[in-house]
Amino acid sequence: MQGMKVTASKLRENIYTLLDQVLETGRPLEIERKGKLLRVVPEQPASKLSQLKKRGVMVGDPEDFVHMDWLPYWSELKK
């Protein structure tokens, strides 16, 4: 998993925010110091469900979708 990369100076400026991001996302934090990389990794990785992006909600009556004509949206039938 690709981590967030920061310099030691950026870490010093934002240490608590960056550490909170590691805990929330489960993504490691890579710190570049004197040409070498250090990694801060959470003890337990975040669950995959917690990494899902929030999407908009469907507004309306679900029955409208049940009775909708879906034929125009089916690509295999659009030939």
Position 37 in a domain: yes
Residue 58: enclosing H or E segment and its boundaries? none
Q: Does the residue 4 lie in any domain?
A: yes
DSSP labels for 13-33? HHHHHHHHHHHHH---EEEEE
Residue 18: give the domain boundaries.
1-43
Give the global pTM. Answer: 0.55
What pLDDT score was predicted for residue 52? 77
**Would you state the pLDDT for residue 45?**
74
CA proximity to 23, closest of 37, 44, 7? 44
**Count of domains forming the chain:** 1
pLDDT of residue 2: 65
**What CATH number has the domain bearing residue 36?**
3.40.1620.10
CA 58 to chain centre: 22
| Residuewise pLDDT in 10s, the chain (79 residues) | 567 899 999 999 999 999 999 988 888 999 999 999 999 998 887 777 776 788 877 788 888 888 888 788 777 655 5
The C-alpha atoms of residue 36 and residue 26 are separated, in whole angstroms, by 22
In a domain, 10, yes or no: yes
